[in-house]
């Protein structure tokens, strides 16, 4: 039995999930880090730091070190990885763990190298990288090694990964840097234009979760929200309806659907026939937006359904690959 722990990390723009081989999901926290402005020391990570977003005094800075699914701030990402690895491994560990991180399929070599370097600097003995759509497909229980086409669409916080997978590899893929965060931004912009109201990230996310829907609802829903008046600068409340939210987020959803259509256009005919039979599997947190699968089916003409525990697909798949690393050697890149 190996004394090294095997850790799989889904380093997302919105949430970071950590999976320990043999035990399952250990950590599921927001990808937010709070650092003190004076000495750049990490003050809080995860849930604790998320509560500080938009509420910090000058001496503290709370930020998201990942943007569009890739590392935007190298040092803060490294500090965050160190924190999460330490949380799993404990403080006194003689053997450094093997760590696998997933990255968007469309990210550049420089972005891949940054992810490997940050993982090694954070205390990994070996660092592995796997493409997100492949990990999501494995985690969703799709038989990826079979000689037939399967389509996975992973809609996260910062990027959407659409890919066709066959024989254990990615045949066609497209990475659109539009996902959950852009939906939140669209809601903020709509409120600013339509209601002269400025709201924070957490309020817009709240609106999306409570009354957001990809297709019009049969029974309209309403929600009272508070923010700052754009003209007078004073706090104010307004009531917003689900159809207004739908109008605000529709252009963003159509960009995501556009990415999926582009992959379908690049798919070889034999695999396209398989996809029509099996449908599109959707994973990632944003796929849980109400009726998103219905919209996808309407727009592409291919039946779409959301995977079970869609938020965990990527990290579970990454964990399974790490446990059977010999089988997946050609699908991962490594350093250590």
Q: Please indicate if the annotation marks 141 as binding a ligand.
A: no
Q: Please indicate if the annotation marks 208 as binding a ligand.
A: yes
> Does residue 119 sit in the same domain as residue 147?
no
CATH number at residue 295: 3.30.420.40
Q: Please indicate if the annotation marks 14 as binding a ligand.
A: yes
pLDDT for 1 equals: 42
The whole-angstrom separation of Cα 135 and Cα 59 is 39
Residue 176 inside a domain? The answer is yes
pLDDT for 55 equals: 80
pLDDT for 91 equals: 67
Q: Please indicate if the annotation marks 205 as binding a ligand.
A: yes
pLDDT for 92 equals: 64
Q: Please indicate if the annotation marks 13 as binding a ligand.
A: yes
pLDDT for 21 equals: 86
> Does residue 120 sit in the same domain as residue 167?
no
Q: Give Cβ neighbours of residue 106 (< 8 Å, ≥ 6 apart).
A: 159, 161, 173, 174, 175
Q: Check if the beta carbon of residue 240 is closer than 8 Å to that of residue 188.
A: no
Residues of the chain below pLDDT 70 = 1-2, 91-93, 336
pLDDT for 42 equals: 83
Q: Please indicate if the annotation marks 207 as binding a ligand.
A: yes
Q: Please indicate if the annotation marks 158 as binding a ligand.
A: yes
Closest CA to 253 of 286, 217, 206: 286
Count of the separate structural domains present in the chain: 2
| Percent of residues, the chain, with pLDDT higher than 90 | 57
Residue 274 inside a domain? The answer is yes
Residue 241 inside a domain? The answer is yes
Residue 173 inside a domain? The answer is yes
> Does residue 250 sit in the same domain as residue 221?
yes
> Does residue 153 sit in the same domain as residue 296?
yes
pLDDT for 262 equals: 95
The whole-angstrom separation of Cα 111 and Cα 144 is 26
Residue 123 inside a domain? The answer is yes
Residue 221 inside a domain? The answer is yes
Average pLDDT across the chain, whole number: 90
Q: Please indicate if the annotation marks 325 as binding a ligand.
A: no
The string of pLDDT tens digits covering residues 224-272 is 999 999 999 999 999 999 999 999 999 999 999 999 999 999 999 999 9
Residue 119 inside a domain? The answer is yes
Helices (H), 172-288: 180-195, 201-211, 242-266, 269-278
> Does residue 214 sit in the same domain as residue 265?
yes
Q: Please indicate if the annotation marks 169 as binding a ligand.
A: no
pLDDT for 282 equals: 96
> Does residue 118 sit in the same domain as residue 26?
yes
> Does residue 52 sit in the same domain as residue 197?
no
> Does residue 190 sit in the same domain as residue 74?
no
The string of pLDDT tens digits covering residues 122-137 is 888 899 999 999 999 9
> Does residue 183 sit in the same domain as residue 82?
no
> Does residue 69 sit in the same domain as residue 167?
no
Residue 1 inside a domain? The answer is no
Structural domain including 262 reads 142-306
Classify residue 326 by burial, with Cβ atoms within 10 Å: 0-12, 13-18, 19+.
exposed
> Which residues are paired to 162 by β-bridges?
153, 174
> Does residue 318 sit in the same domain as residue 300?
no
Closest CA to 320 of 103, 16, 19, 12: 19
> Does residue 33 sit in the same domain as residue 166?
no
């Amino acid at each position: 039995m190996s004394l090294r722990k095997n850790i799989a990390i889904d380093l997302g723009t919105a949430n970071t999930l950590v999976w320990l081989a043999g035990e399952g999901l250990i950590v599921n926290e927001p990808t937010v880090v709070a650092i003190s402005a004076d000495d750049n020391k990490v003050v809080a990570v995860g849930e604790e730091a998320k509560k500080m977003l938009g509420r910090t005094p000058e001496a503290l800075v709370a930020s998201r070190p990942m943007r569009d699914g890739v590392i935007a701030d190298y040092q803060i990402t490294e500090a965050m990885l160190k924190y999460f690895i330490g949380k799993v491994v404990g403080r006194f560990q003689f053997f450094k763990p093997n760590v696998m991180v997933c990255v968007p399929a469309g990210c550049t070599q420089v972005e891949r190298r940054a992810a490997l370097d940050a993982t090694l600097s954070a205390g990994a003995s070996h660092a592995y990288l796997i493409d997100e759509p492949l990990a999501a497909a494995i985690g969703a229980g799709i038989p990826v090694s079979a000689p037939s086409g399967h389509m996975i669409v992973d809609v996260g916080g910062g990027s959407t990964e659409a890919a066709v997978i066959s024989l254990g590899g990615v045949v066609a893929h497209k990475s659109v840097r539009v996902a959950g965060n852009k939906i939140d931004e669209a809601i903020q912009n709509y409120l600013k234009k339509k209601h002269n109201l400025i709201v924070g990230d957490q309020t817009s996310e709240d609106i999306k979760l409570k009354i957001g829907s990809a297709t019009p609802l049969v029974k309209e829903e309403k929600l009272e929200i508070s923010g700052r008046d754009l003209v007078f600068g004073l706090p104010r409340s307004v009531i917003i309806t689900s159809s207004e939210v739908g109008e605000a987020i529709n252009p963003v959803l159509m960009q995501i659907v556009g990415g999926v259509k582009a992959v379908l256009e690049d798919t070889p005919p034999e695999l396209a026939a398989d996809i029509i039979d099996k449908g599109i599997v959707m994973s990632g947190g944003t796929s849980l937006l109400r009726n998103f699968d219905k919209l996808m089916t309407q727009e592409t003409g291919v039946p779409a359904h959301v995977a079970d525990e869609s938020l965990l697909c990527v990290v579970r798949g990454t964990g399974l690959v790490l446990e059977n690393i010999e089988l997946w050697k050609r699908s991962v890149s490594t350093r250590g």
